[in-house]
Chain A
Amino acid sequence: MTTSVVIAQITTGFDKLLNALINGIALGAVYALLALGFVLIFKATQVINFAHGGLAAVGAFLTASFATVLNFPGRFLPDMPSWAQWGLSALFAVLAAGVVGLIVERIFIRPMIGEPLFSVAIITIGVDIILRTINDDFVGQGARTLGDPWGIQVIDVGNLFINQTQIATVGAALLCFGLVAWFLRSRLGVAMRATAFDQEAAQAQGINVGRVFSIAWAIGAALAAVAGIFSSVAPRAAGVTNFTAFVVFRAFPALIIGGLDSVLGAVVGGFLVGIGEVVIGTYTAGMAGTLGVGFGLIVPYLLMLVFLLIRPYGLFGTEEIRRV
Chain B
Amino acid sequence: MRGRPLLFTSYEADSALLPSVSKKVAMTVLLLVAFTLPLQLIPGIKWLGSNPWLVVLGQALIFAISALGLNILTGLAGQVSLGHAFFMATGAYTAAILGGETGRGVIGLGLPIWIWLPAAGIVAALVGILVAPTAVRVRGLYLAFVTIALVFIGDHIFRNVRVVSGGPGVGRTWPALEVRLWKEEEPMLAVSSDGTWFGIEFSRQAKQYIFLLALLIVFALFHKNIARTRLGRAFAAVRDRDIAAEVMGVDEVRYKALAFALSSFFAGAAGALLASFFGSRTPESWDLVLSVTFIAIILIGGAGTTAGAIMGAFFVVMVPRLVENFSRLLSDRTGDEGVLASIANFILKTGTTDFGLIGTSVIGPGLSTFQLNLLLYGLLIVLFLIFEPLGLFGIWLRIRNYWKGWPFSY
Contacts and interface: CB of A to CB of B under 8 A. Distances in A.
Interface of A: 48, 108, 111-112, 115, 117-119, 121-123, 125-130, 132-134, 136-137, 140-141, 249, 252-253, 255-256, 260, 292-295, 297-298, 301-302, 304-305, 308-309, 312-313, 320, 322-324
Interface stretch (B1-9, B107-115, B117-125, B141-149): B141-149
A304 B145 contact: yes
Contact of A134 (B145, B375, B389): B375
Contacts of B25: none
Given A111-B386, A304-B145, A133 B367 contact: yes
A260 B152 contact: no
Given A129-B378, A308-B142, A301 B153 contact: yes
B193 to A, nearest CB: 38
Nearest to A295: B156
Given A298-B153, A301-B152, A305-B146, A133 B389 contact: no
Given A112-B385, A122-B296, A130-B379, 10 more contacts: A115-B389, A117-B140, A126-B296, A126-B379, A130-B375, A133-B371, A136-B371, A253-B145, A309-B137, A322-B242
Interface residues of B, number: 45
Interface in B176-231: none
Contacts, number: 123
Given A140-B363, A260-B141, A108 B299 contact: no
B381 interface: yes
Given A140-B363, A301-B152, A308-B138, A129 B375 contact: yes
A256 B145 contact: yes
Contact of B292 (A125, A127, A297): A125
Contacts of B137: 308-309, 312
Nearest to B158: A292
B284 to A, nearest CB: 12
B382 interface: yes
A324 B241 contact: yes
Nearest to A130: B378
Contacts of B148: 249, 252, 301
19 contacts: A48-B144, A108-B386, A112-B385, A112-B386, A121-B141, A123-B386, A126-B296, A126-B378, A127-B378, A132-B374, A137-B371, A140-B363, A249-B148, A294-B156, A294-B159, A301-B152, A308-B142, A313-B142, A324-B247
Nearest to B370: A133
Contacts of B295: 122, 125
B142 A249 contact: no
Contacts of B280: none
A112 B381 CA distance: 13
A304 B386 contact: no
What does DSSP make chain A's interface, helix, strand, loop or mixed? helix
A298 B362 CA distance: 33
**Shortest Cβ-Cβ A-B pairs, 7 listed:** A292-B160, A129-B378, A126-B381, A126-B382, A130-B378, A301-B149, A133-B374
B243 A127 contact: no
A112 B138 CA distance: 25
A216 B157 CA distance: 38
A293 B140 CA distance: 33
B139 interface: yes
Contacts of A308: 134, 137-138, 142, 146
Contacts of B363: 140-141
Contacts of A117: 140-141
Contacts of B386: 108, 111-112, 123
A255 B142 CA distance: 10
Contacts of B292: 125
Nearest to B387: A111
B45 interface: no
B244 interface: yes
B80 interface: yes
A320 B242 CA distance: 14
A122 B146 contact: no
Contacts of A255: 145
